[in-house]
Amino acid sequence: MRFLLTEEQRAFARSLDALLAAADTPSLVRSWSAGDTTAGRALWSRIAEAGVFALAVPEEFEGVGPLPVELGVAFVELGRHAVPGPLVETVLAAALLSGRPEPAGRLLPQLASGKALATVGAPYALDADTADLVLALRDGQVWRAPGARNIRPSLDPARRLATPLPGGELLSPVIPPEAVLWARLATAAQALGVGLALLDRTVAHVGQRVQFGVPTGSFQAVKHRLADARTALEFARPLLFGAALSMTPADVAAAKVAACEAAYATARTALQLHGAIGYTAEYDLSLWLTKARALRTAWGGPAECRAVVLGAPR
Amino acid sequence: MDLTHSPADEAFRAEARAWLASHVPAAPLPSLETEEGFAAHRTWEAELAADRWSVVSWPAEYGGRDAGLMRWLIFEEEYYAARAPGRVSQNGIHLLAPTLFDHGTEEQRSRVLPPMARGEVVWAQAWSEPEAGSDLASLRSRAVRTDGGWCLSGQKTWSSRAAFADRAFGLFRSEPEAPRHQGLIYLMFDLRAPGVTVRPIHRLDGKPAFAELFLDEVFVPDEDVIGEPGEGWRIAMSTAGNERGLTLRSPGRYLAAADRLVELWRERGCPVRVQDRVADAVIGARAYQLFTYAGASRFLQGEPLGPESSMNKVFWSEYDIALHETALDLLGEEGELADTDWAEGYVFSLAGPLYAGANEIQRDIIAERLLGLPKGRR
């Protein structure tokens, strides 16, 4: 029993962090939000080359997985850098198709290599206008939809939500119940990363912002909000990796609740401590603030996940 | 990254579980914050010690099992899952004993630890004073050098369990001219020695859970001084880290409490209005367990606990209150009744954010030492 990331896992996190930091994700997110996905797709390829999507794809389909702990490590970094796109949905698509040799052999190598972005509508499909593969979950089956319509904005400007079109190709007559665990775990990890980024940026801000002649970070009221944010995030982290080890519905749901609630509370703190500048779209903080809200309800909102923790109906 | 215990650790768990199943009292003991309950708990501690379960992590020569940190965590999980009684000797075991292991003499260890393990000598903490709580370094009670030892005078307060305990450990000012963090002495004294007056203090529910100590020229022999005179602060702070860190509240306690809460919630017909709070209690207990496992893993590979223990303390103290509030709300009108385990636990939990360093102090530590924020006016 040694409940710590290995040196290899930590090195993987550091290399992803370096890759993403060099990509200037804030400007890339802004162009993605404006509908120009060129830079985003280029980064997607580099993320795939780093092996992120292969973690969710079994070896027989040109992946290296499934490796949920490493996937958690990767998605924390993707969240920390506010990487846009149907990241979770591509992982979910891999989980939905892994058990079926025919569509898997055809589609999963493309997902693993980053050549194709997948999205999944349940009911809304994220970034369906950009995705190469639009899956729809309906009537307990997995369908490849011929596209999507009725594109609507999300509270997170980097996300666009659409409804998959009816019809298309039946890919699986069942929805593997464990597939959603992958989406939920990846979302929890991404949310934790979003929360950590919000905390880091806010700590940096209050260390520099001077009011009444001193940095605002020297005020106890400010410190205590940030201490609470740090505590909530650091208690969500072991739940995330514990869930990645067990992949049980209750553990994954607990991780999702804790990570998303901690990230969301940190977002509120970040906004308050930045003052009005944090309330603007021009300032980069907004890229994480809005994502914290969106991830909270994606792939199992707080009430649904809490019911799963208790094995209770909702 | 691994959460699997070794076969040897699992065998240890099975042995503990079997012993507890055949020894835990069928009916709950009276509250240990009463004279009657204190006596009953001493008997229980003796029974635990007879089969060397009272201090599993200690070396065998002092009554332990050399079990190590991981097995201690496993034992605690089994202990609370078996609904075994609260530990009346925990102040001594978790605060004084680690200090003696690190800073005491061999003579002190062999004299003090075995009776502590058996519950024969129950220890109270004598740190706080009327003018020195969270600002502990401002304490004024003094120790004056005398023939063969030290002479204590002054006043201590909020001494947990001191109403019925036998001995106490605490900090005293031995060099009045020295800077406030220096010139302190850490020592042990007898609560029944001449010159000691113990005035029980009744907490919110009327039980004498702590006491004030009035000390009037109380003699302490040199053999009861821990470490060097003047080094008391440094020695005590190593103990304070233990208190906030891994040992004061084991995850087993909260895992078991969360299980009981879920049982209560099921019995009460699952009112949906509290369902989310019940789930949060389950999530919190698991988070605390895994956070502790991660901390223990780091500790066992040689890293110090450090300021992370302040997050630990803020977490469990607030968790404990939320858990008990949820239980009382589930109980409805019965939640007002004071003679239930939930009510006793609720009153106990209310003190959590106050002792072992107020949570405001812990948040300052987290902000300054973990986040690197500037020191400022409080």
Contact A3 B3 (CB under 8 A): yes
- At residue B246, does pLDDT exceed 80? no
Residue B32 CA to residue B190 CA, distance in Å, equals: 21
- Measured between CA atoms, how close is A53 to chain B, in angstroms? 21
**Chain A contact for B4 (CB, 8 A cutoff):** yes
Contact B297 A4 (CB under 8 A): yes
Beta partners for residue B169, in sequence order: B125, B188
Q: What is the pLDDT of residue A298?
A: 97
Whether A72 and A85 have beta carbons less than 8 Å apart is answered as no
Task: Give the residue from chain B lying closest to A310, CA to CA.
Answer: B279
> How distant, in Å, are the alpha carbons of B254, B259, B327 from that of B267?
20, 12, 12
Task: Give the residue from chain B lying closest to A253, CA to CA.
Answer: B283
Confidence of residue B235 (pLDDT cuts 50, 70, 90): very high
* Per-position b or e across A154-177, b if 16+ CB within 10 A of its CB: bebbbbbbbbbbeebeebbeebbe
Q: What is the pLDDT of residue A90?
A: 98
Confidence of residue B272 (pLDDT cuts 50, 70, 90): confident
Give the pTM.
0.95
Residue B159 CA to residue B168 CA, distance in Å, equals: 9
User: Going residue by residue through chain A (314 aa), what tens digit of pLDDT does each one get?
Assistant: 999 999 999 999 999 999 999 999 999 999 999 999 999 999 999 999 999 999 999 999 999 999 999 999 999 999 999 999 999 999 999 999 999 989 999 999 999 999 999 999 989 999 999 999 999 999 999 999 999 999 999 999 999 999 999 999 999 999 999 999 999 999 999 999 999 999 999 999 999 999 999 999 999 999 999 999 999 999 999 999 999 999 999 999 999 999 999 999 999 999 999 999 999 999 999 999 999 999 999 999 999 999 999 998 76
- At residue B307, does pLDDT exceed 90? no
Residues B359-369 pLDDT 10s: 999 999 999 99
Q: What is the pLDDT of residue B244?
A: 56
Closest C-alpha to A85, from A124, A33, A21: A33
Q: What is the pLDDT of residue B132?
A: 87
- At residue B245, does pLDDT exceed 90? no
Percent of chain B whose pLDDT exceeds 90: 86
Average pLDDT over residues B298-311: 88
Q: Where are the beta strands (DSSP E) in B67-209?
A: 123-126, 142-146, 149-160, 167-173, 184-190, 196-201
Q: What is the pLDDT of residue B137?
A: 84
Closest C-alpha to A52, from A73, A74, A84: A74
Average pLDDT, chain B: 93
Of B287, B300, B363, the CB nearest to A223: B363
- Measured between CA atoms, how close is B70 to chain A, in angstroms? 9
Residues of A in contact with B291 (CB under 8 A): 234-235, 238
Contact B70 A1 (CB under 8 A): yes
Torsion, CA A186, CA A190, CA A191, CA A197, rounded to 10:
160
Q: Residue B119: what residue type?
A: G
Residues 268-297 of B with CB under 8 A from A: 270, 275-276, 278-280, 282-284, 286-288, 290-291, 293-294, 296-297
Residue B163 CA to residue B211 CA, distance in Å, equals: 5
Query: How many CB atoms sit inside 10 A of residue A224's CB?
Result: 18
Residue A123 CA to residue A144 CA, distance in Å, equals: 14
Contact B366 A239 (CB under 8 A): no
Confidence of residue B135 (pLDDT cuts 50, 70, 90): confident
- At residue B170, does pLDDT exceed 80? yes
DSSP, res B94: I
Q: What is the pLDDT of residue B242?
A: 60
Q: What is the pLDDT of residue B133?
A: 83
Confidence of residue B357 (pLDDT cuts 50, 70, 90): confident
Q: Is B222 helix (H, G, I), strand (E, B) or coil?
A: helix
Closest C-alpha to B199, from B215, B186, B220, B188: B215
Q: What is the pLDDT of residue B377?
A: 66
> How distant, in Å, are the alpha carbons of A239, B127, B332 from that of B275?
20, 41, 14
Confidence of residue B241 (pLDDT cuts 50, 70, 90): low
- Measured between CA atoms, how close is B371 to chain A, in angstroms? 7
Residues of A in contact with B284 (CB under 8 A): 235
Contact B283 A258 (CB under 8 A): yes
**Chain B contact for A204 (CB, 8 A cutoff):** no
Q: Could you tell me whether strands B167-173 and B184-190 are parallel, antiparallel, or unpaired per DSSP bridges? A: antiparallel
Residues of A in contact with B70 (CB under 8 A): 1
Predicted complex ipTM: 0.96
Residues 75-94 of B with CB under 8 A from A: none
- At residue B243, does pLDDT exceed 60? no
Residues of A in contact with B306 (CB under 8 A): none
Closest C-alpha to A169, from A145, A147, A137: A145
Contact B366 A1 (CB under 8 A): no
Residues 348-367 of B with CB under 8 A from A: 360, 362-364, 366-367
Residues of B in contact with A310 (CB under 8 A): 262, 265, 275, 278-279, 282
Of B1, B360, B371, the CB nearest to A245: B1
Contact A1 B9 (CB under 8 A): yes
- At residue B176, does pLDDT exceed 60? yes
Structure tokens at B251: 């995850």
Residue B340 CA to residue B345 CA, distance in Å, equals: 9
Of A3, A4, A231, the CB nearest to B315: A231
Average pLDDT over residues B321-345: 95
Percent of chain B whose pLDDT exceeds 70: 97
Q: State residue B114 phi and psi, 5-degree precision.
A: -60, -45
Contact A228 B371 (CB under 8 A): no
Q: What is the pLDDT of residue A314?
A: 64
**Chain B contact for A251 (CB, 8 A cutoff):** yes
Residues B62-89 pLDDT 10s: 999 999 889 999 999 999 999 999 999 9
Confidence of residue B266 (pLDDT cuts 50, 70, 90): very high
